[in-house]
Structure 1
Amino acid sequence: MKTVLRLINLFTLLAWATPTVAQQPVPNNHLTGKVLDATTAQALPFASVAIFKQINGKDSLLTGAQTDEQGAFIITNVPTGSLLAKVTFVGYQNLNKAIL
């Protein structure tokens, strides 16, 4: 009987501890930049910038943003780790850059 009560107490303790561990604060990393035409250095307004992480061999979208009129963007709450930034704009070749 004491063994059963100890196991119940252990499971109760683990149940209380698990949410505490799962709710650790995420670092507030951010990515900023400007998207420019490589030839003319003109800003590309409203280009898409997306952040991907490879999960099970596939690129999984995490977050992203659109550039403003000056081609600038900021993406907040970017997770840490090995990521891929993809920049797309109609009429241009897509750009993929690794983020380490």
Structure 2
Amino acid sequence: MEALSLGVSMVAVPRWTDQSTNAKFIADVWQVGIRAEVDGKGMIRKEEIGRCVREIMEGDRSEDIKRNAAKWKKLAIEAASHGGSSDTNIIEFIAQLTGKDLVSQPQL
């Protein structure tokens, strides 16, 4: 999420738990990177990492990947800014915890 919100293109190298889901989103849903492929022994070799980095930096899809990364950065900034969806959601969450109406009160 940090890389996505900073507009950074990524090489996904999933190994366990939720990393496969993250890799799926990075490569196929958000389209902000590519997934490194394993070899016949289930390993990701340095040559594959190099190929992935070159693809992101100068390959056929590099401009699309960079454009998508910039788009997601902009969306993250908007969401976290005053009045954005994340800003509003955290205020509503705190209001539920405290029982105070923070939505209609002025923001600090």
Which of the pair has more CA radius of gyration? Answer: 1
Question: Comparing both structures, which one devotes a greater share of its residues to strand?
Answer: 1
TM-score range, shorter chain: under 0.3
TM-score (norm 2): 0.24
TM-score (norm 1): 0.25
